[in-house]
Every structure is written in structure tokens, then in C-alpha cells.
Amino acid sequence: MVIKARSKIYNNIVCGSDRKIYQLEHFKNKRVYPFKELTYNSKRKAYRIYSQWVSKKRLYKLMIILDETIEVFKEQTDLDSILEKLDISLKKLLNTNTK
């Protein structure tokens, strides 16, 4: 993932090359915050960061333009592998029923 901008106040909030806002994985008060894409609420015209609404305008004003590359790894949990197997078996089942 290529980071195009980083926030001044929110250290773990970045803007990717696809112009989407992401929260990097980090620790805060013994809690692990996972890597995720922040969703935009068009009704409020804001993003939800640490249980607070931050307006899109404020967040964009606080961005520092830079160009750095990071690697994002997604660990596959047991639940992910089970869901993946179920999805494959459901596809096979649906394919046999349609023939």
C-alpha cells in the first residue's frame, strides 16, 4: 500500500493511493485497533475516529502530503478459513443444483 498523506493530529490515520482514508493497526490503552478503512458518513459529512465525528474538511486540512510505502498483512484466522471452506462448498452445491 502506498501512503500519499498522513494526518497531523491523528498519527495512525492515513490516506492511501486510492484516495481512501485508513486507520493503521496500533495499540492504545491496552487495546489493539486493527487496520481498517474508515467509512464516510455522507449525512454528517464526517468520519468516525475514536468514537468522535471528525469532519471531512477538518481531516483533509490536517493531512500532510508524503509518499511512503508500507506492507499490510492480514492474518487468516480459523473463522476466516472455515467461512472460506463453507463458501467453496456452497458454490459447488449451487453449481450441481443448477445442472
Give the dihedral of Cα atoms 40, 43, 49, 51; nearest 10 deg: -140
Write down the pLDDT at residue 71: 67
Q: Which residue has the cell 486493527?
A: 34
pLDDT in tens, 52-94: 999 999 998 999 988 777 766 666 566 667 767 777 676 666 7
Contact indicator for 23, 70 with CB cutoff of 8 Å: no
Residue 98 has pLDDT above 70, yes or no: no
